[in-house]
């Protein structure tokens, strides 16, 4: 009898060891299959309960437990839900089907927020109160929001200092309170800002905006394409300005303060305008045609030195029958300003006007280089006035006959 019982027990042990196990089924389709009492109308007890815990074990599981599942009740500091042990990341990872949601995670000694379901092996440890909306598909210890109050958004984005923010593919914000916006933008200096494609700001409170714009000096700013500000408080604009290194952290009078680049590529860098901190202005790209253009801008200093103050009018010494018109009208006169002579005033002839009659003579220094035909004024018509190279001002004709006055206003010419 004992032999029979022993054989029966051995038989069932073999079945348990090697056979599939079915609960509520006689034909299990896996090592373990559990069927509901009635799939259409299941009971409240149809299901499988995993081990319930309030907190994770103080000693981490090993590779032997990789994939082990538990249910966190939510009665502790860990968020409620199903978790599995991810040995490659040495962390408990929550099971979630929605990666658009954030989950509170604890890594190292910090707790912050990251997109659900992200592989911790692809990120650095989350920073305290950090918000990590980045995506990292490769193993890394630096990707993500890894510092206190930092934010990272985008593929392989990195924010690694207090309050740093990185937005964009491969953007890096490694200065405290720095901001990087755009693909490959890098805000390295404290309180720096880098905006655009591949922009770079390393100086304290510096700003770089554009395409490969670079600001190295403290408080420096760079705008445009491949511009660079390489000294304290320098501002660079345009494209491909020349690379002139100055003091990055101190005011030096001979360093650049403002520069406009007009280069075409990295091998042909040039500047349209450079202003040094001592006020010296250079315009390397200007040519003589641009400088002498009548509409070119000039400084007050240049204007004061070049353009003399208009001289006081000189009364014309009228001859013959010519006299000032009187009655409060301006007395005939002339003056010179910037090598140009101007005539003005109202005069009359006390007799009949005769063609070729001399009105007055201009002195040397106020005469044209050649005879000039000019137009005086009279009601409803022009009066021909000729000014000869010897300085004589002559009436040539055009009077109506009934009017005896001529206005010299508007007559001017260059002198030699």
On whether the CB atoms of residues 164 and 146 are closer than 8 A, the answer is: no
| Residues forming CATH 2.60.40.1830 domain(s) in the chain | 314-414
Per the listing, tokens 């650095």 go with: 124
E strand or H helix that includes residue 36: none
H or E stretch covering 45 = none
* Top mean-pLDDT range of 327-331, 347-351, 404-408: 327-331
- Cβ-in-10-Å burial (0-12, 13-18, 19+) of 61 comes to middle
Give, in words, the CATH class of 314-414: mainly beta
C-alpha distances out from residue 346 to 324, 325, 343, 388, 412, Å:
6, 6, 10, 20, 15
- As a whole number of angstroms, the distance between CA 143 and CA 130 comes to 13
User: In the numeric block, which tokens belong to residue 287?
Assistant: 């040519």
Q: Per residue in 268-296, pLDDT tens?
A: 999 999 999 999 888 776 665 656 666 66
Residue 352 CA to its chain's centroid (Å): 75
Least confident piece of the model among 73-77, 277-281, 379-383: 379-383
Q: How are beta strands 357-361 and 412-414 bridged, if at all?
A: unpaired
pLDDT higher at 95 or 392: 392
Which of left, alpha, beta for 336 (phi over 0: left; psi -120 to 50: alpha)? beta
Summarised one tens digit per residue, pLDDT across range 91-120 is 888 876 555 688 899 998 899 999 988 999
pLDDT, position 81 = 87
What pTM did the predictor assign? 0.55
- Whether the CB-CB separation of 288 and 275 falls below 8 Å is answered with no
Dist CA 414 CA 416 (whole Å): 7
- Average pLDDT of the chain is 88
């Amino acid at each position: 009898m004992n032999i029979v019982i022993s054989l029966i027990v051995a038989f069932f042990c073999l079945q348990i060891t090697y056979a599939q196990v079915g609960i509520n089924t006689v034909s299990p389709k896996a090592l373990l299959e559990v069927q509901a009492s009635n799939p259409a109308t299941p009971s409240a007890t149809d299901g499988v309960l995993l081990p319930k815990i309030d907190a994770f074990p103080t000693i981490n599981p090993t590779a032997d437990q990789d994939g082990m599942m538990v249910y966190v009740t939510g009665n502790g500091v860990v968020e409620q839900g199903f978790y599995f042990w991810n040995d490659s990341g040495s962390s408990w990872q929550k099971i979630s089907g929605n990666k658009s949601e954030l989950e509170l995670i604890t890594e190292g000694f910090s707790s912050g927020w990251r997109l659900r379901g992200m592989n911790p092996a692809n990120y650095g440890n989350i920073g305290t109160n950090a918000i990590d909306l980045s995506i990292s598909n490769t193993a890394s210890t630096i990707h993500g929001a890894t510092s206190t109050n930092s934010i990272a958004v985008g593929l392989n984005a990195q924010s690694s200092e207090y309050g740093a923010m990185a937005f964009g593919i491969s953007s890096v914000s490694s200065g405290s309170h720095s901001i990087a916006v755009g693909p490959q933008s890098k805000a390295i200096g404290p309180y720096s800002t880098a905006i655009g494609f591949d922009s770079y700001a390393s100086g304290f409170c510096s700003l770089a905006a554009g395409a490969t714009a670079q600001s190295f000096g403290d408080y420096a700013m760079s705008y445009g394409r491949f511009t660079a500000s390489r000294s304290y408080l320098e501002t660079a604009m345009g494209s491909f300005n020349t690379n002139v290194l100055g003091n990055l952290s101190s005011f030096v009078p001979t360093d650049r303060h403002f520069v406009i680049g007009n280069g075409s590529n990295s091998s042909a860098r040039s500047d349209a305008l450079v202003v040094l901190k001592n006020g010296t202005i250079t315009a390397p790209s200007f040519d003589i045609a641009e400088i002498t253009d009548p509409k070119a801008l000039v400084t007050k200093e240049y204007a004061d030195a070049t353009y003399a103050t208009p001289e006081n009018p000189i009364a014309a010494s009228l001859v013959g029958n010519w006299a000032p018109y009187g009655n409060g009208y301006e007395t005939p006169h002339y003056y010179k300003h910037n090598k140009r002579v101007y005539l003005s005033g109202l005069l009359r002839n006390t007799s009949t006007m005769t063609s070729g009659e001399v009105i007055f003579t201009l002195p040397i220094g106020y005469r044209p280089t050649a005879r000039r035909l000019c137009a005086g004024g009279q009601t409803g018509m022009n009066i021909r006035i000729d000014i000869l190279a010897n300085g004589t001002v002559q009436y040539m004709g055009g009077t109506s006959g009934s009017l005896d006055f001529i206005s010299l206003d508007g007559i001017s010419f260059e002198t030699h």
